[in-house]
Amino acid sequence: MPHKSTITKADVIRAGSIHNKVSKVAEALSGLDSASLGCTVSESTTIVMATKILGKIKDESQAVLDKAEELYKNRDVELINRATLRYWRIQEDTELCKISKHSVQQNFLEKTTELSKQGFSQIEIDAILTDPAPEIEVLELRIKALKTEKMRVEDFLRDVPIYSPELLVGTAVEVTAEAA
């Protein structure tokens, strides 16, 4: 696992898993006394080589973990806070759109029913009332767009420790040039 200048959350998870496993094995190997085990020179060399290889893997994974810690310490807290606020606002906006959609549908149904009771034909009702389908479609598209935006904001907020601002592109969270 070579150390990269940029890392992903998957890199951090992988490095943590590798570091944990390799540390235990490297520690166990370094505690072996090949002479008391009766190892040959070749076997002793193999143990030393394995210990060195595991040490290198451990160091590389530690470098990724150190980079992750550095990124976390230097995270853009203001951007994270704005994204969190937007996340909750998206929830509210979505609920308002759903309520509006239901209201438009109910209003149209009530007016249609009332006009029918007053003896108007369907053709007359259609001429009197405006079809709510375009308004409902706009609300459905808005709900869909909010759902997509919510997923992007969630991706950003789950991107610990990296918090890649690129994940907020296409959202209402304003990302400055230096954050991106």
CB 95 within 8 A of CB 150: no
Q: What is the pLDDT of residue 46?
A: 87
- HEC profile of 15-75: HHHHHHHHHHHHHHHHCCCHHHHCCCHHHHHHHHHHHHHHHHHHHHHHHHHHHHHHHHHCC
Residue whose entry in the numeric block shows the structure tokens 């030393």: 48
Tokens standing for 165? 């601002």
Mean pLDDT by 10 residues, the chain (180 residues): 66 92 86 80 86 92 93 92 96 98 97 96 94 97 97 93 90 70
d(CA 48, CA 29): 8
Is the pTM higher than 0.75? no
Q: What is the pLDDT, as a whole number, of residue 2?
A: 47
pLDDT at 3: 44
